[in-house]
Amino acid sequence: MRVLAFEDCVDIEALLISGNVDMASIDFKQYWDSVDYLERIEQFGPDLLLLDHYMPPTKGLDLLKTLRKSNINQPKVVAMSSATMANNMMLKHGADFGIVKFELASLKLWPHSS
């Protein structure tokens, strides 16, 4: 599974590992800003896109709206802001899942270490 995260403060890979997610079968990449986000998404070709809401220069919600209108192959999207209100807004605009980022490892999407 190819996973791309846009998150400016928290190391998402470390968060997943600490939540006992088995990263062996995951090709993971994180960007710490949202510069050139469409090009980055198209180049990496993620199966799963993790979006924070409060991220410079383009907020996750605006990124999501633009992505959903684009011709880019559409990955599943997880809204993972620390603000539930922001996740709910992204869910209304096409995110497939919404979760507070510190609970991200609890989603049923991940392979877990035994």
3-state secondary structure of 112: strand
Domain containing 33 equals 2-104
Tell whether 112 is covered by a domain.
Answer: no
- pTM listed for this prediction: 0.95
- Compute φ and ψ for 5, nearest 5 degrees: -115, 140
Which pLDDT score is estimated for 112? Answer: 76
Residue 111 pLDDT level (bands cut at 50, 70, 90): confident
Please provide the distance, in angstroms rounded to a whole number, between the alpha carbons at the two ends of the chain: 19
CATH number (domain holding residue 39):
3.40.50.2300
User: What is the Cα Rg of the chain in Å?
Assistant: 13
- pLDDT tens digit string along 4-40? 999 999 999 999 999 999 999 999 999 999 999 999 9
Q: How many domains does the chain have?
A: 1
- Cβ 92 vs Cβ 43: under 8 Å: no
* C-alpha–C-alpha distance, residues 92 and 36, integer Å: 24
Does residue 114 carry a pLDDT above 80? no
Tell whether 27 is covered by a domain.
Answer: yes
Tell whether 109 is covered by a domain.
Answer: no
